[in-house]
Amino acid sequence: MHDSAILEKIKLNNKTAMITGASRGLGRRFSSVLSNMGANVVLAARNKDKLLETQEIIKQSNGECYIVDMDVNSEDSINNAFNKAEKKYGEVSILINNAGIAISKSSLKTSIEDWDSVMNTNLRGVFACSKVFANRLVAKQKAGKIVNISSIAAEIVLGEYLSSYCASKAAVSHLTRTLAFEYAKYNIQVNAIAPGYILTDLNKNFFDTKEGKKMIETIPQKRLGKPEELDGALLLLCSELGSFMTGSVIRVDGGHVIA
């Protein structure tokens, strides 16, 4: 295949992608990357001020984007967000389930409310957004792609205080496989990316500490990942380059899990 043919397959012109948790961190990066590849990007989250920051970054690159308010814990909110997105751009054919939280506490000190908060955002939210998205595509007999953001926490224990987070991400990885099996007959692909330790503004201070540096030493490549090092996996799963992939969970972790 010639380079030009590969480039054509990776382009997302005339596609519309919705990214949950687009207000900061990896969600902001994913939004910018998909916009740069030609997609109309729908930025979904509850923090409008932060969404406006993401929108400004995309507009500076001449990208096309639109903000919608979304609470992934509310099916009504999700439906309203999709209604607004479709009114603006037409059919949404790519969904990035990125919204997620972590509460770092010993399981002995984790309240049921803490547990429910993590599970509702990280797992129930992924299910609810996927369900709404898939139902709309099935009704129109249209193809689509879902990319869930899991974590290496689905496979290994990340310290003593992340039981709810690890459990939620393990469930996301398996939900990815079960939905992929169910949705294959509708030509809806469901895959996931499982990042390892990726440097962001939210964790930079921690990884500058003695404990943080010690954790970095456990990674075979002896460094943190950069947000842009997730671009390849994202574009593979969102574009026609990944047309024969479904039910896959792609680790991007510097070899952390195999260590």
165 is catalytic: yes
What are 194's strand-pairing partners? 251
CA distances, 63 to each of 6, 33, 150 (Å): 22, 10, 27
Distance CA 179, CA 204 (A): 34
Cα(98)–Cα(18) distance, integer angstroms:
10
Q: Where are the alpha helices (DSSP H) in 61-150?
A: 75-89, 112-119, 125-140
Question: Which of 66, 89, 165, 183 is the catalytic position?
Answer: 165
Order the strands of the 16-20 sheet from edge to edge. Answer: 65-69, 40-45, 16-20, 94-97, 144-149, 188-195, 249-252
Length of the chain: 259
Question: What is the C-alpha separation between 69 and 82, in angstroms, rounded?
Answer: 10
Q: What is the rounded distance in angstroms from the CA atom of residue 20 to the CA atom of residue 149?
A: 10
Residue 80 token pair: 């309203």
Q: What does each C-alpha distance from 245 to 107, 146, 180, 191 come to in angstroms?
A: 36, 11, 9, 7
Contact in structure between 174 and 190 (CB atoms under 8 Å): no
Q: Which two tokens stand for residue 192?
A: 């996931």
Indicate which residues carry an active-site annotation.
165
